[in-house]
Amino acid sequence: MKFKSQKIAYLFFATCMLLFSLQLVYGFIMGFAHMGLDVLHDWIPFHAARATHTNLLVMWLLAGFMGAAYWIVPEESDREIIFPKLAVVQWAALVIVGVTAIIGFHFNWWEGRKFLEIPRPLDYLVVVDVLLFIFLIGGTIWKSKRYTTTSMVLFFGLLMAALLYLPGMIPTINQTVDSYWRWWVVHLWVEGVWELIMGAIMSYLLIKLTGVDREVIEKWLYVIVGFTFLSGILGTGHHYYYIGTPKYWLMIGGLFSALEPVAFLGMAMYAIVMARKGGRNNTNRIALAWTVGTGVMSFVGAGFLGFAHTLPQVNMYTHGTLVTAMHGHLAFWGAYAMLILAIIAYAMPVMTGRKLSDSGMNTFAFWTSNIGMTAMTVAFGIAGVTQVVLERRMGMDFLAVQKEVEVHFLGLVMAATLFTVGIIAYIWNFVKFGLPSDEVLIERK
Amino acid sequence: MLTKSGAKAFFLLGTGLCSLAFVLLTIDTFHRIPAQTNEDQITESVKKGKDLWEHNNCMGCHTLFGEGAYYAPELTKVYQRRGEIFIRQMLKDPRAMYPNDRKMQQYHFTEDEINSLVAFLKWSGEVNLNGFPADPPLAPKKTEGVGPADLATHVLPKPEIFQQMCTACHTLSGAGGSVGPALDGIGNRKDTAWLKSWIKDPKAVKADTTMPTLPLTDAQLEEVVQFLSSQK
């Protein structure tokens, strides 16, 4: 570790581990409910579990991005974070807002708009908190006068993510307009600016782990984020097919979302090629595995499975079915969850000085969680396709179809158990690293 | 070979053009949404229904316009498909309608709130969604009369209330829900008097039945009983 203020990242990473564990618990509640075992109905009804599950995901990924930024930016800028104490306040505020929102969901306090369930008063606090974060990161880069492509892409990704939160707060009386703006937030986040953040974090990791020249890596970073925006911005159209907007979105959305896999394929090839190019025998092979893994799994989950059901002709029948859940799970896992786990796997040995990166437990965590998530995706996929055929194509009643797919959720819960075992192993390893230590600061030149 | 500045130019140009196109399309879309969604029909009641929809996070289980969770039925055209009486009954006492199935929350809505939600769902169903949800292409073709063709003369037309309420749980000619038994040939098994007392108050006939007491008027009850009796 080069800079003392990089330790702030630890707070965010530990928060990730905690929120991620909680997210899994709520996932199980829903999995069992789908199996017909809705035993918690009176205490945690499905819609509360659902809001909690998805918002915990968003929160822990954001916490991960923030942690990654606090880790990467000092190094790229070659200076300490400005106002490190304020950064701790920013972390605490994020946790307080998050915890309040999650508890509120259980008392019918929310704004029932998919993915944006956080109630309005808390929205303002989120904005303030994120602005503070942007100020700290931006200020650090500004003061250093050393602008690397990686840190600039990261900064603009984070800034745009903050700005794009605002359209979701525009009041409207029309459900169609409501959905329209909601996708500005959700789609332009996950298929737009979050990919900037992803590209930047990946670049940083590849520079560190492979030893390939920064110029080469950063050049390809531009190409890939270029493709991301070329396809992703107008690709938002695939959410506008059937919500009451003009028909031309079918063509525009269909065309551009068909291009979206290109960006993810680029991301995957980028990771693989750079990892092969790097002749350096790096000591943290598991962090490289997570980095390359995020490229590959995001291509399969976000790129390929996304493509598979965003063609308008297909989407007519898959829109609003379990097929979406199939795509969603592997996409978020591959593109963002694995990426956060990669940066944590890279940062922990450097931060604590404990070289536990090549432990068997870590390898076990990597493979078990990936196999578990792949199996979950398959279970969702079979349930989803069955639902589409029986309900949307053959016209069977919704609830009758849900009875038919209950058995697939047994498979899903089994796969989720495997996944959870992998994640427990990862967290176990995280805990074993212990707290960051100032003694490792000596590496500084 | 691509240089770094070339790559940067590609990124900036691509992003700029796509963002511009997206903003222009958004402006155009907003000009067209009022007509496509019948915005002039968004009454105070519809607005209140939307607030209730959001306040209670209905999207946490249901989908509307195909958006939401996949735990409870898609509601875009529920007003057109099931009708007002069914929606009201469902909102008043969700458990009574599907007793052994997935549970819906009991919200204790007031009459006024139920009116608003009905208005909201009615408005939603009338929005032009570019053909969504599509009719199931492989579904058995719906015929007006039921039963074999030679008996068609004895068969009465299907009452609207039957289509809205009864098919939520029962099938007839292969269409409908799977909660209660199929009603094909029911006229052979039960006589008119039995059907009448059964539908009027199912619990009085069979105490442990899961069939709910439906809010039918006398005329509707008579219509349904006659229709069922004709199913031979």
Nearest CA in chain A to B10: A226
Asked whether residue A13 is domain-assigned, the answer is yes
C-alpha of B6 from chain center: 54
A437: contact with B, CB 8 A cutoff: no
Using the beta-carbon criterion (under 8 Å), do B138 and A173 form an inter-chain contact? Answer: no
Residues of B103-130 as b/e, b for ≥16 C-beta within 10 angstroms? bbbebebeeebbbbbbbbbbbbbebebb
pLDDT in tens, B35-92: 999 999 999 999 999 999 999 999 999 999 999 999 999 999 999 988 898 999 899 9
Using the beta-carbon criterion (under 8 Å), do B103 and A41 form an inter-chain contact? Answer: yes
Residue B148: predicted pLDDT: 47
Domains B39-126 and B160-230 share a fold: yes
In 3D space, the residue among A167, A131, A316, A291 whose CA is nearest the CA of residue A238 turns out to be: A316
Q: Give contacts of A234 with chain B, Cβ < 8 Å.
A: 18, 21-22, 25
Residue B149: predicted pLDDT: 45
Higher-confidence position of B168 and A373: A373
B121: contact with A, CB 8 A cutoff: no
Q: Give contacts of A117 with chain B, Cβ < 8 Å.
A: 57, 60
- The number of helices, as runs of H, and strands, as runs of E, in chain A is 16, 0
Higher-confidence position of B171 and A5: A5
Q: Give the mean model confidence (pLDDT) for residues B164-192.
A: 84
Residue A286: predicted pLDDT: 93
Using the beta-carbon criterion (under 8 Å), do B71 and A218 form an inter-chain contact? Answer: no
Q: Is the pLDDT of residue A277 over 90?
A: no
Which backbone phi and psi does B142 adopt, to 5 degrees?
A: -75, 130
Q: Please give the interface size between A and B, counted as residue pairs whose CB atoms are below 8 Å apart.
A: 206
Chain B 151-210, residues with CB within 8 Å of chain A CB atoms: 175-179
Residue A240: predicted pLDDT: 97
In 3D space, the residue among A136, A129, A134 whose CA is nearest the CA of residue A82 turns out to be: A136
pLDDT in tens, A5-22: 999 999 999 999 999 999
Q: Is the pLDDT of residue A442 over 70?
A: no
pLDDT in tens, A134-148: 999 999 999 998 899
A394: contact with B, CB 8 A cutoff: yes
Nearest beta carbon to residue B7 from set A46, A223, A320: A223
Write down the domain spans for chain B. 39-126, 160-230
* Chain B closest-CA separation from residue A19 CA (Å): 20
Domain B39-126 has what CATH class?
mainly alpha
Sorted by sequence, the CB contacts under 8 Å of residue A133 that are 6+ apart come out as A66, A69, A87, A90, A158, A162
Which of B29, B79, B122, B170 would you mutate first to test chain A, the one with the most A CBs within 10 A? B29
Using the beta-carbon criterion (under 8 Å), do A229 and B73 form an inter-chain contact? Answer: no
Percentage of chain B exceeding pLDDT 90: 49
DSSP B74: B
Rounded to whole angstroms, the Cα distance separating A69 from A130 reads 13
Residue B154: predicted pLDDT: 54
Q: Could you tell me the residue range of the domain that residue A126 belongs to? A: 4-433
Residue with tokens 């694995």: A338
Residue B150: predicted pLDDT: 43
Residue A279: predicted pLDDT: 67
Q: Is the pLDDT of residue A170 over 50?
A: yes
- CATH number of the domain enclosing A412: 1.20.210.10
Rounded to whole angstroms, the Cα distance separating A109 from A103 reads 9
Q: Give the mean model confidence (pLDDT) for residues A334-357.
A: 94
* Chain A closest-CA separation from residue B193 CA (Å): 30
Nearest beta carbon to residue A243 from set B58, B65, B70: B65
Q: Is the pLDDT of residue A388 over 50?
A: yes
Residue A239: predicted pLDDT: 97
Nearest CA in chain A to B13: A226
* Chain B closest-CA separation from residue A427 CA (Å): 29
Beta strands B171-172 and B67-68: pairing type? unpaired
Burial of A435 (0-12, 13-18, 19+ CB in 10 A): exposed
B22: contact with A, CB 8 A cutoff: yes
Asked whether residue A445 is domain-assigned, the answer is no
* Chain B closest-CA separation from residue A439 CA (Å): 38
In 3D space, the residue among A150, A61, A52 whose CA is nearest the CA of residue A102 turns out to be: A52
pTM score, whole prediction? 0.91
A386: contact with B, CB 8 A cutoff: no
DSSP A332: H
Using the beta-carbon criterion (under 8 Å), do A173 and B32 form an inter-chain contact? Answer: no
Q: Give contacts of A246 with chain B, Cβ < 8 Å.
A: 28-29, 32, 36
Are A211 and A279 within 8 A, CB to CB? yes
Q: Is the pLDDT of residue A85 over 50?
A: yes
Q: Which two tokens stand for residue A267?
A: 């991301």
Nearest beta carbon to residue B54 from set A113, A244, A250: A113
Using the beta-carbon criterion (under 8 Å), do B130 and A173 form an inter-chain contact? Answer: no
Q: Give contacts of B61 with chain A, Cβ < 8 Å.
A: 46-47, 50
Give the count of beta carbons closer than 10 Å to the beta carbon of residue A201: 28
Which is the CATH superfamily of the domain at B160-230? Answer: Cytochrome c-like domain (1.10.760.10)
Residue B145: predicted pLDDT: 47
Q: Give contacts of B46 with chain A, Cβ < 8 Å.
A: 173
Q: Is the pLDDT of residue A125 over 60?
A: yes
State how far the alpha carbon of B206 is from the alpha carbons of A286, B198, B229, in Å.
65, 8, 20
**Concatenated DSSP letters for A82-147?**
SSHHHHHHHHHHHHHHHHHHHHHHTTT-S--STT--S-HHHHHHHHHHHHHHHHHHHHHHHHHT--
Counted domains in chain A: 1
pLDDT in tens, B143-167: 544 444 444 445 678 888 888 888 8
* Chain B closest-CA separation from residue A231 CA (Å): 8
